[in-house]
Amino acid sequence: MRYSIGKQALVEVSMQTVEEISRAIMADPANQQYTAAGIEPLFHVEPTATILIISQAPSRQAQLARTYWHDPSGDRLRQWMGINADEFYHSGRIAVLNLDFYYPGKGKSGDLPPRRGFAEKWHAPLLKLMPNVQLTLLIGAYAQRYYLPQRRRTLTATVQHYADYAPYFPLVHPSPLNYGWMHKNPWFEERVVPALQRPVRVLVDA
């Protein structure tokens, strides 16, 4: 399988193991600023995963801790899923692939968006290593735009109609910045969260 790396050449990349893909990501010229700073791509592949979580990018706190969803957003996400930290990190059922595996930095109104082209290059070979995924959580507008071309016009409407997108499950981002949205939309925790917890519990316990 061939993947375009940089603008000058096509590089043959072995796509057989997570370690090989990780090395290829770190060697990509587009990621050299991170590699030179000793920052590794943050994602998690489980061959036995039945649940995949896709959001926009790691937070700065998660990147510094070198642990995905290691922040207040992760705490809230685990509450929504109805699982504890041990199940989240050690059950062997949960994988994480964001649209960018590096923290993109701060913008005027929050974190910068994930870089274009990153998911196109690296998601496909990693997804091939997880053939048992049955439920994919799409967290936030960026993930929904990428994976749901038939989504509703707004994030709110897309989340309201979550049942239309199985095996994808669209969610609002659990960031503290979205607590106002959750307050204005009580139906989310009343109806959507319980609907999420039911399949998550089945798949984690399987």
* DSSP SS3 for 2: strand
Distance CA 45, CA 41 (A): 12
Q: Residues 43-68: what's their mean pLDDT?
A: 96
Asked if 167 and 135 touch (Cβ cutoff 8 Å), the reply is yes
> 5 pLDDT exceeds 70?
no
pLDDT score for 94: 98
The pLDDT-based confidence of 15 (bands split at 50, 70, 90) is low
Q: CATH topology for 42-205?
A: Uracil-DNA Glycosylase, subunit E (3.40.470)
- Report domain extents, the chain: 42-205
> 59 pLDDT exceeds 80?
yes
Query: What is the average pLDDT score of the chain?
Result: 91
pTM of this prediction exceeds 0.85? yes
Q: Chain-centre distance of CA 9, in angstroms?
A: 29
* Model confidence pLDDT, tens digit, residues 165-181: 999 999 999 999 899 99
Asked if 127 and 15 touch (Cβ cutoff 8 Å), the reply is no
